[in-house]
Structures are given as C-alpha cells and as structure tokens.
Structure 1
C-alpha cells in the first residue's frame, strides 16, 4: 500500500511540475489528466479531493502569483505582456481577475503592492507545492567546501516577513543602478532569524550582492560587508522557495548529528542560483551553506 501511495503521489507531482513549466499554455482537464495518466472523467474530482481546490483554480492561482512577482520585481515587463503570458486574451480580462484576487489593479499593484493580500492569495498553493509534494534530501547530497572570503553589498530587512517584498524591490532597484545583475553578481541571503521562531518585529534577513565595487552612501541603506571565508556544508535545494525551510531543517536535524562536525559562529546563508519568476518555481535553485568549524 505504501508503494501504491508513492506511485499515486508521483503521478500528481508530475501534474504539478507540468503546470509550473507550461503556465502559458492551455491547461485544461484533458491535458492534465493525460499527464497524470488518470481518466479525464475522474481527474478533476481526484485533484480537488487531494488538494482542496480544483485544477482550474490551482492553475489560475499560480498564474496570478507569477504575474504578481513580475509586476513587483520585473518593471521592464509590460502589463500586456504579463497578461498574455498568464493565459488571458486581453489586459482587461487579466485586470478583472487580478483585482478580484488581490484587491488592486495590476498597475496599482506594480506601484504599491499589497504584500499581505498576495500572501493570502498564494497560501493554498504554498501548502500544496511546499509541504505535501516536497521531497526530503539525502545525506549524500551534502558536501563540504571551503567558502572563499566574499565582499558583498548588503540591504538588511528588519521587521515583519510580509514586508520583505518592499526591501527586495529596493535591493533590485539599487542593483539596476549599479549594473550588478545576478548574471554578473552572485546573490546571497544571510538568514539571521527564522520567521516561524521569532516575533515579526525581530525577523531579520540580509539581502546581498557579491561585488568588489565601493558601496557609496545611497537612499536604500545598502552598505558594504563580507561573507567570511571558512568551511561550510552545502546542500543544493531545487524547487519552490516555500520548502526551503525543510531543507535547512534537514541540515540541522539529520546531517549535522551524523557528520561529527560543529557549527561555526556565523549564520546559515544561501545563494540564489536560479530565480522565480524567471524560472518555473519547481526549477528554482538555491545552495544552502551551513558554516562549520
């Protein structure tokens, strides 16, 4: 029975991955049931019973999430382009649904995003992709490296996690000004606090761009710093950001006790190698670094 359940879940995971990779295409019940190799007469009921929302609602949710991220973080993408890529025939149709889901027009969201509304809208999708379908890492996926001394420019977000989006927008704007795109400047996050284990006002994360350039006084509050050299355990996480916390927990609770290693007095940090929304969520790549003595 356990093997049968794993096989069933693998077929549904195949559907979720297909949706992530084909959001611009027609994702009707016939297409998705064929991907899962289930009868189209029963697939919709199966999907809804398992995940708590219909395939159509789930697809729409993912399209709205990706559209929201592009509106917030990709100012060069036009609203018309985003609407068409989201499967809508016109910006007007896209705008109607966007306003229904987030309470703002796409233009208003781009100017001043309602981050709390976005979090509420995507919560059910987060639970599906980040929790139910996440795969636990294996011990042999962890390697030990000597991390080099890395000068970085840092914007520290201090406060409620739901306001992190505003700090990210400022960080991206500064990088554009300085011509430090991710392709030429590695992106790191230093995880000073776990948002689930601290008060909202105590949450802190450092947004970092690797650079040797001088960091002059600026309106964004970005300063020069460095990630120190030292031994690190590294685990590559491929998938949705919402399951990243489980991968971090694996390093602490599974790998570390069996490794015989001790932790260095420096926070755990990550390198964002491949980003959503530029890549499908299930193909985003993050390297997790656990500093060791």
Structure 2
C-alpha cells in the first residue's frame, strides 16, 4: 500500500511539473492557479501545496523558478543572446535574468552563450528532485488516528508575520475576558491558511481561534464562528518551537501518510496549542497537529 499510494501521487506531481513546463515554454501562457494544479494531481486543494512540498522538497514557486532558469540555460547553450534567452524564459529583462544567474548559479548569462559544455552541468544542477519517502527508521513518527468530535471556535483572521500571531490571540483573549468567557476557554487553536515558510510576512494569513464550548452567540466582526473537527484525523504531537509545525506536517505527509492507506479529506489542517509560549521555553512547547482523513 505504501508504494501504491506514493506511486499514484508521484505520477500526479509529475503531471503538474509537465504542465508547468508547457506553460513556461514559449509562447508563454498564464501560470495555472492552485485549484488547477490540484486537479491535475488529483489532490485536494486544501492539501496540494503541502503534499507537493513534502514529497518533492520544494514549493511550486521554486519549481517554476527552476524551470524558467532551465529554459534560459538551454537557449544560451544553443547560442541565443542574453536578451533572447531572457524573453524565452519569461523574464522581464536581461538584467533580471542576470541577477538570477548570479544568485543561483554564480555565473553571468553572457559567459554561457554558445557554450553547451558549460551549460550541461548547470542544467543537471537544476534537474527536479525525485519524489521519495524519507527514511523514517531513525526517528519514526508517532501518529495516531483519532475520531474528533466537531467543536466550535471563535476565529480572528490575522495577516502578517508568523512571529506576530500572538497579537491575534491577544485580541481574541481580550474580547473573551470582556465578554466574561475567560474561564470557559477550552482550547487554543490555529488554522494555517498558507505556509509561512513560503510567503512574505505581509502575505501570511492565519486563523487564530479559541474554543469556549457550545452555545456561543455570534462574536462582533471581524471575529466569526467556525466549526472544526468532525471525523477521523491523523494526530501528531510536535515538541519544539511552533514555527516547526509545518516541518512536522512535511514529515507526516512524506513518512506516515503514504503507508497509512488513507486519503486526505477536503478540510483544513489545524493545530491545538498545549502550552503558552510566554510561560514555556520554545524547545519544549507542545502542540498537536490534526490532519483530516477521508472515511
């Protein structure tokens, strides 16, 4: 089962990469969005970007950058000018291409023009990573499957750096205290909407959430009510800084999930924070990571 599931999703990711390559090669077309890529891979849009990164070791954005750079390299090796190579790969200008070459390859594009011998090893460096399950023998994950009853949370969407999420939780708790709900707090929960490792701080979105039990009235905007849980979830206990929860999810998807025989459900991943970072040192902070599973 492990290899069957992995093989199926590896083929899906290969289809995604082939589709991206077609859209990057001239004549250029707009790049596909997340929903289109998820459909090509036959994966849920909720989980596509996480599965892609967990199984390939890179984000879709990194794949696009690598493919564009490969197009430019091949054109230079064939004798195209720097301007022609830049335009073929979709760069705004030859100067933009030169900046990427210096940062990524430590060479100038002009030095490679017509030199297929020098281009070949650089293209090999840019070859895509193999989709593979990591070796978990040294430190096997302790993942449990739990049936999680639905529970209601008060949600406040926070935009900004991951390190600043305490402001969102602070606003939630301040409202709870004013509403007389401080003593009813049952769970501190986070719902990541994007991967904080892959976006600029201003683009990071995260739902800060608190559970107080049933029977809550609708909170004032911009807060809202939302139901999480319901059905079986893969649960992994993470110990360490909360910034490492996405790394823990990578491991779950790369090491445990392919051999589990389970499919993922179209529902969000969420975190249940068990410790207060203001009271517990970062290396021993605890949080449970919940990944929804299909029946």
TM-score bucket of the superposed structures, by smaller chain? 0.3 to 0.5
Larger Rg: 2
User: What TM-score results when the alignment is normalised by the length of structure 1?
Assistant: 0.48
Q: Between Structure 1 and Structure 2, which shows a larger proportion of helix residues?
A: 1
User: What TM-score results when the alignment is normalised by the length of structure 2?
Assistant: 0.48
